[in-house]
């Protein structure tokens, strides 16, 4: 397998007045599974479509291994892609792959091999119309794998998978990346792919909000404490005076304080004579961080790790 990096540089795509992708730059490395994350309408599909030559960019570049899709020699053998809804319901899984086989110059045996690699040998001659979402996702992956590509570009391939399906996808993509492959997997839900990805690229409104390893993203989660007291008024006073701007009253007798440890909050409560019935360290979840990044109005230097 050849080592090929995905490099998107100052990419912009406009549809009339709509800017779907806005001066976007990021990269996805071989040997890594990169999650391409953002809310609905963020510009993920458009970017992936530009990468595989289905849509042309207004400006900027989207390269795989140093060249655009159009400039690749036998591109179907370099990059395999899967987008939602690309199936004819009347075709069997095997017929579906066979329809794609000439594009990547492979024979029937390779179609069966691709089905086997996603665990679909038994379903080879069943019609796609009767497939569950999980089976469609597997067939999509088999389609992407058909030409034995070095790079996988997958649009929402984890969407709707049950926990067993997610586990399977994770181990499948892990092996692909461990063999030197590059994987770019889009999702609008970090929780759906957080077990699967090594790196994250977060976009919103077509623009980059964050790029780092998943571990670095995790480190952005603010610590926090949930504090409960039977004396709601005293608790509210305590939160206001001791933690101005970082405490929120979640309900009567319960406040959440961000950026503080249980030891710190407990010590202040003890000093102030506040009766406490609960003190839990529950900071921001990874999903909270993701939401914060996608909701914030603009990218800051500190959020964009190299």
Helix (H) or strand (E) holding 99: helix 93-104
Neighbours of 263 (CB within 10 A): 11
| 57: its two tokens | 């960019």
Q: Is 46 helix (H, G, I), strand (E, B) or coil?
A: helix
Q: Which is nearer to ligand ATP, 40 or 302 (CB)?
A: 40
Query: Does the footprint of ligand ATP cover residue 46 (CB under 6 A)?
Result: yes
Q: Does 12 bind ligand ATP (CB under 6 A)?
A: no
Give me the 128-167 binding string for ligand ATP, x by CB under 6 A, dash otherwise. ----------------------------------------
Pairwise CA distance, residues 144 & 157, whole Å: 11
If the CB atoms of residues 45 and 229 are measured against ligand ATP, the closer one turns out to be 45
From 12-20, 140-148, 226-234, 241-249, span contacting ligand ATP (CB under 6 A): 12-20
Length of the chain counted residue by residue: 306
Dihedral of the alpha carbons of 107, 110, 114, 115, in degrees to the nearest 10: 80
Residues 166-205 that bind ligand ATP (CB under 6 A): 188
Q: Is 24 in the site for ligand ATP (CB under 6 A)?
A: no
- Sort 18 into a burial class: Cβ within 10 Å, 0-12 / 13-18 / 19+: exposed
41 near ligand ATP (CB under 6 A): yes
Q: In the bound complex, what is the minimum distance in angstroms from residue 202's beta carbon to ligand ATP?
A: 11
- In contact, 274 and 231? CB cutoff 8 Å: yes
User: Least distance from C-beta 72 to ligand ATP, angstroms?
Assistant: 22
For residues 98 and 171, is the Cβ–Cβ distance under 8 A? Answer: no
CA distance 12 to 21: 5
Least distance (Å) between residue 209 CB and ligand ATP: 13
302 binds ligand ATP (CB under 6 A): no
43 binds ligand ATP (CB under 6 A): yes
What residue ranges bind ligand ATP (CB under 6 A)? Answer: 15, 18, 20, 38, 40-46, 188
């Amino acid at each position: 397998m050849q080592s090929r990096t995905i490099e998107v540089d100052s990419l912009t795509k406009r549809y009339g007045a709509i800017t779907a992708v806005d001066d976007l730059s990021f990269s996805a490395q071989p040997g890594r599974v990169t999650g391409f994350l953002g809310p609905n309408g963020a510009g993920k599909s458009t970017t992936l479509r530009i990468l595989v030559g289905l849509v042309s960019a207004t400006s900027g570049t989207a390269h795989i291994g140093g060249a655009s899709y159009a400039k690749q020699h036998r591109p179907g053998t370099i990059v395999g892609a899967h987008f939602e809804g690309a199936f004819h319901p009347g075709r069997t899984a095997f017929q579906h792959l066979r329809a794609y086989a000439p594009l990547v110059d492979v024979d029937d045996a390779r179609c069966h091999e691709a089905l086997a690699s996603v665990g679909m040998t038994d379903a080879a001659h069943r019609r796609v119309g009767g497939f569950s979402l999980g089976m469609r996702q597997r067939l999509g992956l088999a389609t992407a794998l058909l030409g034995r590509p070095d790079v996988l570009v997958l649009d929402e391939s984890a969407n709707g998978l049950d926990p067993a399906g997610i586990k399977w996808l994770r181990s499948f993509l892990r092996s692909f990346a461990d063999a030197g492959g590059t994987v770019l997997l889009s999702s609008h839900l970090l929780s759906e792919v957080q077990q699967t990805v090594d790196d994250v690229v977060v976009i919103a409104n077509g623009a980059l909000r964050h790029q780092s390893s998943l571990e670095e993203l995790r480190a952005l989660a603010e610590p926090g404490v949930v504090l409960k007291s039977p004396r709601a008024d005293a608790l509210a006073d305590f939160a206001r005076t001791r933690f101005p701007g970082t405490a929120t009253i979640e309900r009567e007798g319960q406040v959440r304080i961000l950026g503080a440890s249980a030891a710190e909050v407990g010590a202040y409560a003890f000093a102030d004579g506040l009766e406490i019935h609960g003190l839990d360290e529950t900071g921001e979840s990874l999903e909270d961080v993701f939401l914060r990044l996608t909701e914030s109005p603009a990218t800051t230097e500190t959020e964009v790790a190299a």
